[in-house]
Amino acid sequence: MTRRIQQVVIVGADAPAWMAAAAFQRSVSAAGTRIRVIELPTLLHPADVYSAFPELAGFHHRIGLDEDLLFSRCKAVPVAGRRFSNWSGAGAPFIHGYDRSPPPAAGLGFTQLWIKGRQKGLRTDFENFSLASVAAKAGRVPSGTGDAELHAAFGYNLDARAYSALLRQFAKSGGVESKAATIAHVETEGDQIKAVILDDGERVEADLFVDASGPRGALIGRMPGADFESWRDWLPCDRMLVASAKGLKPLPAFSQISAFRHGWIGLFPLQDRTAVVAAYDGSETSDQALLADLPALANMPIGGDAVVSDLNQGIRRRAWVGNCVAIGESAFSLEPLDGAQLHIVHYCISQLMTLFPVKTGLFPEADLYDRILRRLGGNLRDFQLAHYKLNRRFDMPFWDGRRDASVPETLQRKLDVFTARGRVPLYDDETFQELDWESLFIGHGLMPQSYDPRVDAIPEQEHIAQVQARMNDIVGLVEGMAPVDDFIAGVNPRQAAEAKAVG
Amino acid sequence: MSEPLDIVILGGGTAGWMAATALTSLIPPTRCRVRLIESEEIGIVGVGEATFPEIRNFNDAIGIDEAEMMRATKAAFKLGIQFVDWGFKGSRYIHPFGVHGPVGMDHIFHHRWLRARGLGSKRDIQDYSFAAQAARDCRFDLPETRGTDIESAYTYAYHFDAGLYAAYLRDLAERRGVVRTEGKVLNVVQDPETGDIRSLVLESGETISGDLFIDCSGFRSLLLGKTLGVGWEDWSKWLPCDRAFAVPSERDELSPYTRSTAMEAGWRWRIPLQHRTGNGYVFSTSFINEDEAAASLMRGLEAKALADPRMLKFQAGRRLVNWEKNCVAVGLAGGFLEPLESTSIYLIQAAIMQLVPLLPGKIVDPRLRDEFNRLIDLQYERIRDFLILHYKLNRRDDAEIWRYAAAMEVPDSLTRKIELFRHSAIIERYRDGLFPPTSWLSVFIGQGLIPESYSPLADTIPGESLIFHLDAFHADLLDRVGEMRRHDRLINLYCGAELSGAPTATEMRP
């Protein structure tokens, strides 16, 4: 007998588990499905940070979470993008900004104009034509630029534990039941989970189990066919360190990712501190040596809360097996180089919502979910991998090796077509859009050899005028944006008052 | 500045003149010079008098005035395709150019409709499509292009005389600098080392050399197929029709939709134009002989025939690549898919609009070529699967072709789509290529595949409230359709072939 899904159990911890709980509570529970969270011990440390894309605002809007709480409770700092430095030897740093400009209807984007301009001697760097990048450099928060042609938004740096706590409180106040426990045993029959047995002996049954336990894959790891496929051959970092450093004043409007001899160091400004993340190749340097080098690499004193962990990048061969669905890092896992961690969780939740099983028993939705996640994962992996592939740090074995290594066909095609013509082939389930890839490629010094021939139909004077107009528009828009500290200060007092009123 | 690229287009007709017009309109003469060779002795296939809405992007890009083009080609508007007798004998549905339900709700609307159906609602899914409803009532107005109003819930295409469209483009192309040469190709000269095409030798003795050759020679595929030997991938096991008879008849009802009626060995089309109605029978000689097919076509005409039926031979499939060495196929030289969803002209357009941004230099960059071929493959495969769906999803037991089609093995990509929809009404989206979920939905439901279940997300509002909202939406939709003008009157006003200086599109908005 099959029937509607009546009970969903989410097994996991931290933001992924509570994001899923809040989202399902807002949607399927209204259709009569019960949502329960088995809360595993946290994987977070005090120094941890979540660095999220602007789209997180959309998620908060859908679940009904007041954005102001991020600033008053989660030490949130709005950021316009990521600044990549030291990836290209003597080359200048660049910013990958959170631009959200829609591609032009005729398919002839500004990038093509810029490529021709560059060939004709234009000196201005590509990032100066990105609204988000210019805002980031000016320390301003892109907000309220609803203009159709030029639009940018801000992402968030969030204190990971505070954000998880906020979501937990939000989900529970919305009626999600939960229990803190560890798993003693998982009872399976074929590819179905019959029950999860907790450490106190409770036997938890459900029609659908959602694994939001992070890289440990508490449930999915026990399912047939869901073994882990490592991306280590492509992405070399296998150790990750997080720590805190003092806060920055004034707050910058970007996070910084700097390459160093054995990997990269990320600095993520928060309101009261700077989260420091290092990802590196453990066979190149020891944890102790890295920690000793860190203050010099980060150019600031490092606090005593440093924690090191393994970094296993890769993807499960299947993310939905029987009645068990993995979301976020339980499904696939990437270093936080481009800040996709919460995005992956969000995307998985959206897909699971769209593909929410109509009844118990067989789940033909699983195959599509798996295919979507493999595409999403592959595209994200390619984006991150491009940083390594395009590095220009010479005479360092780690970096020379990355530059010489072959990359997946999907990325090679992007590199080839971009090099040839300045266009980026996009596939299904791409997180990053054309402008993102373009700023990545150009930022790392990859210059197209030719441009779209339609550009030559634009008379030279008009071409120059368009390029100039875009710069002027951006400067004008950025002038109207608030500096980060003002932006946060503007949010805080109102929020404090409201929080008090709610009690 | 380097010398401009010399582009030689072989073949006039729709493909050749669309390519010529686009290249010469979008790319300045400093970058390319376009020549076109055609022979008046070789007839054109003139595929597809029915188009897909994407044609409007093409026309806009090359700077065509809609009303002028419609007058010149005796065109009418098209809001979708009506399929008669496809899923089962007596069935009838419209694949509309627009969403079902409110704009922006297409991810959930059909789930809600399924639920309402379970609650006793009798309305068909098409009753919630603005385009389908307007089509059925033979009404048309130009849609609003902004906002999420009901008026932006649809788009449209044209029925036109493809021969006149080619002639219209030829005039435009020649005025914009395309050099036309009359003549037949006697010989193709290739580079002995690279195999690249260097020049075409005409019967007149003239030699026309070029850097890039665009093969618009139709089914003969003179350059890509015959000269360069690019192989053919045969898809006729899935799409068995291999002939068509076409015949014009006197104008009757000017309905703003194409009609496709399933027949004993294929299907027949009806395409209303301003001055006549195009008719045709696409059939498979495995299931009927030519004479019987012609007789069947003539018997079914609703108005007096204006000529004798003309026959075309074809096979479904495509060339293994559409760009090989310095030769790109556009149109039938690269592949053929029957005009069941009016995609022939769309495929021409897709090839051209993907070639323009990837246009090579004097030496072909293989990276550009490979990307072009990848995109064209996607286009063909997505249309192929969608066409096969119409055949596969039938429950007719009255003719051999339908029994064959219902039982045949189809590509895995299609089987997965059908099974997932059957189970849970889910439709997979994709980025490139034609047919959004709403198109798949209309064929699935229209041909009788009612899902076993729907998304629980459709259960989140109370049943009475759901029915209330659907009723209100439907009533609103009927009101709005009622306010539209009759299609034939609008045509006379906007682009009647005998008119000149008709009002502009903006003036036409009610």
Contact B456 A28 (CB under 8 A): yes
SS3 A101: coil
Please, what is the Cα angle at A279 between A274 and A285, to 5 degrees? Answer: 120
Q: Rounded to a whole number, what is the distance in Å from the CA of A121 to chain B's nearest CA?
A: 15
Question: Which residues in B have their CB inside 8 Å of a CB on A?
Answer: 26-28, 30-32, 57, 61, 107, 353, 356-359, 361, 365, 367-368, 370-371, 374-375, 416, 419-420, 423-426, 428-431, 452-461
Report pLDDT digits (tens) over A252-277: 999 999 999 999 999 999 999 999 99
- Across the interface, of A32, A364, A456, the residue whose CB is closest to B420 is A364
Question: What pLDDT score was predicted for residue B510?
Answer: 43
Tokens 């990971």 sit at which residue? A160
- Per-residue burial over A251-272, b = 16 or more CB atoms within 10 Å of its CB, e = otherwise: bbbbbbbbbbbbbbbbbbbbbe
Q: Does the beta-carbon distance from B423 to A358 stay under 8 Å?
A: yes
pLDDT band at A156 (very low <50, low <70, confident <90, very high): very high
Name all domains of chain B by residue range, CATH numbers in brackets.
5-49+161-235+316-381 (3.50.50.60), 95-156+389-483 (no CATH), 243-313 (no CATH)
Residue type, B288: I
Query: Is B26 in contact with A454 (Cβ distance < 8 A)?
Result: yes
A426/chain B closest Cα distance in angstroms: 8
Decide if A414 contacts A424 (C-beta within 8 A).
Answer: yes
First to last CA, chain A: 48
CB contact under 8 A, A457 and B27: yes
The one-character DSSP state at B362 is: S
Query: In this predicted structure, what is the pLDDT of residue B506?
Result: 47
Dist CA B226 CA A338 (whole Å): 50
pLDDT at B150: 61
Cβ pair B424:A423 closer than 8 A: no
Determine the Cα–Cα distance for residues B230 and B207; give it in Å rounded to an integer. Answer: 24
Core vs surface per residue A303-325: b (16+ CB within 10 A) or e: eeebebeebebbbbebbbbbbbb
Cβ burial, residue A154 (10 Å; 0-12/13-18/19+): buried
pLDDT of residue B269: 96
Write the residue in A107, A427, A456 that is nearest to B431 by C-beta: A427
Four-point Cα dihedral A147, A150, A151, A152, nearest 10: -150
Mean pLDDT, residues A15-21: 98
- A420 and B365 within 8 Å at the Cβ level: the answer is yes
Orientation angle between helical segments B109-118 and B463-483, nearest 10 degrees: 110
How many Å apart are CA B348 and CA B343, to the nearest integer?
9
Q: Average the pLDDT over A185-201 and give the result.
A: 96
Contacts with B, A 2-41, CB within 8 Å = 4-5, 27-28, 30-33
Does the CB of A359 have a partner CB in chain B at under 8 Å? Answer: yes
Q: What string of DSSP letters covers A465-495?
A: HHHHHHHHHHHHHHHTSEEHHHHHHHHHHHH
Distance CA A445, CA A334 (A): 24
User: Could you tell me the fold of the domain covering A7-77+158-231+313-378?
Assistant: FAD/NAD(P)-binding domain (3.50.50)
pLDDT in tens, A454-474: 999 999 999 999 999 999 999
Q: Where are the domains of chain A?
A: 7-77+158-231+313-378, 81-152+403-482, 239-310
Report in angstroms the alpha-carbon separations of B284 from A432, B3, B198, B237, B312: 46, 49, 39, 11, 12
Q: A39 to chain B nearest CA, in Å? A: 25
Prediction ipTM score? 0.94
Q: Do the chains contact at B424 and A365, CB–CB below 8 Å? A: yes
**pTM of the prediction?**
0.95
| Contact yes or no for A97/A83 (Cβ under 8 A) | no
Q: Residue B293 corresponds to which tokens in the numbers above?
A: 């097919």
- Contact present, A68 and A491 (Cβ < 8 Å): yes
Q: Judge whether residue A17 has pLDDT over 90.
A: yes
Q: Tens of pLDDT along A30-60?
A: 888 999 999 999 999 999 999 999 999 999 9
**Annotated active-site residue in B78, B325, B392, B417:** B78
How many whole angstroms separate alpha carbon B8 and alpha carbon B223? Answer: 11
Q: Are B135 and B82 in contact (CB under 8 A)?
A: yes
Mean pLDDT across chain A, nearest whole number? 94
Is-catalytic flag, B226?
A: no
Cβ of A433: how many Cβ atoms within 10 Å? 15
The CATH class of the A239-310 domain is alpha beta
Q: Is A291 on the interface with B (CB under 8 A)?
A: no
CA separation, residue B31 to residues A116, A164, A453, A457, B34 (Å): 14, 57, 7, 9, 10
Which of A454, A455, A463 has the highest number of chain B CBs within 10 A, making it the mutation to test binding with B? A454
pLDDT in tens, A412-422: 999 999 999 99
* CB-CB neighbors (< 8 A) of A116 in chain B: none
Beta strands in A160-288 (DSSP E): 177-180, 183-189, 192-198, 203-204, 208-212, 228-230, 239-246, 254-260, 263-269, 273-280
> How many other CB atoms sit within 10 Å of the CB of residue A443?
26
Q: How distant is the Cα of A414 from the closest Cα of chain B, in angstroms?
A: 9
The first and second tokens of residue B261, run together, are: 């009626």
A359, B270, B499 from A33: Cα distances, Å: 11, 50, 63
Which residues of A are less than 8 Å from B465 in CB distance? Answer: none
Say whether residue A367 is in contact with chain B using an 8 A CB cutoff. Answer: yes
Q: Select from B17, B14, B54, B50 the least CA-distant residue to B36.
A: B17
In this predicted model, what pLDDT tens digit does every residue of A195-247 receive, in sequence order? 999 999 999 999 999 999 999 999 999 999 999 999 999 999 999 999 999 99
Q: Which residue of A has its CA nearest to B365?
A: A420
**Which string of DSSP letters, residue by residue, matches B205-270?**
S-EEE-SEEEE--GGG-IIIIIIT---EEE-TTTS---EEEEEEEE-----SSEEEEEETTEEEEE
**What's the whole-number mean pLDDT along residues A330-357?**
96
Choose the mutation target among B34, B107, B428, B430 for the interface with A, i.e. most A CBs under 10 Å.
B428
Q: What is the mean pLDDT of each run of 10 residues along chain B (510 residues)?
A: 91 96 97 96 71 95 96 96 95 96 91 97 96 96 70 88 95 97 97 98 97 97 98 98 96 95 97 94 98 97 94 96 98 96 95 97 97 97 97 94 97 96 95 93 97 93 95 95 94 78 47
Q: How far apart are CA B137 and CA B478, in angstroms?
A: 10
Distance CA B127, CA A117 (A): 52
pLDDT of residue A496: 46
**Between vectors from CA A256 to CA A255 and to CA A260, what angle results, nearest 5°?**
155
